[in-house]
Amino acid sequence: MPAGGLKVASLRRRLAAGLIDGLLFAAGPVAFAIVNERRSQPEEDRPPEMSWLNWLPSSPAANRATSTVLSIISRNWQSPGARLVGIRAVALDTGGPVSVHRAAIKLAVSIAISGFAGSLYRPTNRRTAERMLALHSEMSELKRTQPGDVEAQRELMKRHPEVRLGCLGCAAPLVLTTVATYAPALRSPLNQTLPERLAGIVLVED
């Protein structure tokens, strides 16, 4: 049990917090897609109201660095879902705030799990990306030679069903990462995920 007589957060509360956070942050990928679309346009064609988004990192390395720093800084912050359901993260042995050391271990384990899952599907995702690029090239040529021919575009998509099926495989690493991270909580007496267990962190009720 956590030090200080704290009560371990139930799996139900953890799930509720995760669902709330997921709904609140679902717009994130859409926002990044809009940013990337605007960045692909010439500078003079970008709407002025989008200029404030130029500070966002645009490279994978910058995104990773930003995510790492934010994860460490926010180690003792409650997410909107956690605040609503009344749970927070503490150090298992002290019941106090999570230290930088513990947060770094948790983050490192999470990155390792994600990296391993991604490596398993990297060849498949690479082939899917190549096929999608080929399809995009064919579609662009079709739109140039037969503008407005929606039926021809549909026929082209039908000739490439592997692209649509391959896109489903892009989600496989995320699914595998989620299972590897959270499945141990189902068997843990303290409802800890794998990164939390290795870092000595536990979620408790507020």
pTM to 2 decimal places: 0.66
H-helix segments, 74-160: 80-85, 100-145, 150-158
On whether the CB atoms of residues 22 and 82 are closer than 8 A, the answer is no
Closest C-alpha to 166, from 143, 135, 138 = 135
**pLDDT, tens only, 42-52:** 454 444 444 44
CA distance 131 to 144: 20
Q: Which two tokens stand for residue 187?
A: 């068997």
Helix H or strand E encompassing 18: helix 11-24
Q: Which residues contact 81 (CB under 8 A, 6 or more apart)?
A: 16, 17, 18, 19, 20, 21, 24
Residue 108 sits in which domain range? 3-205
Handedness of CA 29, 86, 187, 93 (dihedral sign): positive
Query: Residue 35: its pLDDT value, please?
Result: 59
**Backbone Cα Rg of the chain:** 22
Per the structure, the count of domains in the chain is: 1
Per-residue pLDDT of the chain (206 residues; tens, 9 = 90+): 676 788 999 999 999 998 998 888 876 666 655 655 555 444 544 444 444 445 555 566 677 778 888 888 988 999 999 999 999 999 999 999 999 999 999 999 999 998 888 888 777 777 777 777 777 788 888 888 888 778 887 787 777 766 655 555 667 778 888 899 999 999 999 999 999 999 999 999 98
Query: Residue 154: its pLDDT value, please?
Result: 78
**pLDDT, tens only, 121-142:** 777 777 777 777 777 788 888 8
Helix H or strand E encompassing 199: helix 194-199
Q: Which two tokens stand for residue 63?
A: 């995104």
Task: Count the neighbouring beta carbons within 10 Å of the beta carbon of residue 52.
Answer: 8
What is the DSSP annotation of 136-173? Answer: HHHHHHHHHHSTT-HHHHHHHHHT-HHHHHHHHHTTHH
CA distance 166 to 129: 9
Query: Residue 204: its pLDDT value, please?
Result: 94
**pLDDT, tens only, 173-197:** 788 888 999 999 999 999 999 999 9
**Helices and strands (DSSP H and E) totals, the chain:** 9, 2
